[in-house]
Amino acid sequence: MTAVALIGGTGLTVLEGLEVLRRDTVDTPWGAPSAPLVHGLVHGCPVVFLARHGPAGTIPPHRVNYRANLSALQEAGARRVIAVNAVGGIRPGLDVPGRLVVPHQIVDYTYGRAHTFFEDDLEHVMHVDFTEPYCQPLRETLIEAGRRAGLEVVGRGVYGATQGPRLETAAEVDRLERDGCDIVGMTGMPEASLARELGLCYAAIALVANAAAGRGPGVLSMEEIERNLREGMRSVRSLLEQAIPLA
Ligand code: HPA
C-alpha cells in the first residue's frame, strides 16, 4: 500500500494520532522541502506528513518551496496528496470560523512563485490539463470522511489563491467574490498545479479561520485567526483520521 501524503498548513504542523516511524531529511533537484518528511501510520495506514510552513511554522506562503515539497512527496512514493489550507470565508455561510470546505475550483492570483516543473531543458512544451484542478475521487473521500466524523463539510467551493503574506483589502475581497471565489487563502497555488504536473492525485480540505477582509466586524487580528485555527484543527484532525484509511 503506498502512503497517502498530508501537507499540513498553518495550525497543523504536527498530526496527533500519527504513530511516527521515522523522520527523513531529504533534498530534491528543486531544493529542500519545508521540513523533514514524517513517515508514520494512522490506524495502521501509511502516511507521509509534511509541514508546509516548516516545523516551527516560520516559512511564509510566498517563500514555501512548493516544487521541493511536491517532488519530495512523490519521491517518497506518495500518489495521493491531501492538503490542509487555512482560508478566509467570502461567500455568505462560509464566512464563519470553523467551516470546512472541500474546494472544487481555483482562481490563481499569485505571482512570482516558482510554479512549474517544466521550466527549461524541455524536449517539448508541457501544458497539463487543469480544467478540474482537484482529484475528484480524493475530494469524494474527504467529503465522506467528514460525514463519518460527524462533521458538516461544504462539498464545493472556489478557492481564490492570493499572494500574501498580507491579508486582502475589502475591495480585493469584493473582486474575489465577483470572480466567483467562495474562500481565499495563500497556499493553494501553485501547490495544486505542481501536483498535477507530477501526476499526483491532489485534493484539499480548507478550514475557515476568519470572515475575509471587510466581511466581518472590524479588522483582522492574527490572534483571532490563530485561535480559530487551533479550535478548527480539531475537526480537521478527526476528518483526516477518517480520510486516511479511505484514501
Ligand atoms: N485571506 C487569505 N488567506 C487567509 C485568510 C484570509 O482572510 N485567512 C487565513 N488565511
Mutate to test the pocket of ligand 1, among 96, 168, 223 (most ligand atoms within 8 A of CB): 168
pLDDT at 123: 72
Q: Distance between CA 136 and CA 5 in Å, rounded?
A: 16
Give the angle subtended at the CA of 104 by the CAs of 187 and 238, to the nearest 5°: 70
pLDDT at 124: 72
pLDDT at 13: 67
Give 86's strand partners. Answer: 207
- Whether ligand 1 lies within 6 angstroms of the CB of 209 is answered as yes
Distance (Å) from CA 151 to ligand 1 centroid:
22
The x, y and z cell numbers of residue 214, run together, are 471587510
Mutate to test the pocket of ligand 1, among 110, 186, 226 (most ligand atoms within 8 A of CB): 186
Distance (Å) from CA 247 to ligand 1 centroid:
27
pLDDT at 1: 63
* Contacts (Cβ under 8 Å, ≥6 apart) of 235: 98, 100, 149, 151, 207
Instruction: Tell me the backbone φ, ψ of residue 30, rounded to 5 degrees.
Output: -100, 5
Concatenating the DSSP letter of every residue in the chain gives: -PPEEEEE-TT-SS-TT-EEEEEE---BTTB--SS-EEEEEETTEEEEEEETTTTTT---GGG--HHHHHHHHHHTT--EEEEEEEEEE-STTT-STT-EE---EEEE---SS---S-SSS-SS------SS-S-HHHHHHHHHHHHHTT--EE---EEEE---SSPPPHHHHHHHHHTT-SEEESSSTTHHHHHHHTT-EEEEEEEEEEEPTTSSSS---HHHHHHHHHHHHHHHHHHHHHHHHH-
Measured by CA distance, the residue closest to atom 7 of ligand 1 is 88
- Whether ligand 1 lies within 6 angstroms of the CB of 95 is answered as no
The x, y and z cell numbers of residue 199, run together, are 501526476
pTM confidence score: 0.96
Dihedral angle over CA of 161, 226, 168, 69, nearest 10? -30
- Whether ligand 1 lies within 6 angstroms of the CB of 186 is answered as yes
pLDDT at 14: 66
Is the separation of the CB atoms in 23 and 39 below 8 Å? yes
Distance (Å) from CA 217 to ligand 1 centroid:
15
Largest Cα–Cα separation, the chain: 54
Q: Which residues of the chain have pLDDT under 70?
A: 1, 13-14, 121
- What is the CATH number assigned to the segment(s) 4-117+127-246? 3.40.50.1580
pLDDT at 218: 86
The x, y and z cell numbers of residue 10, run together, are 498553518
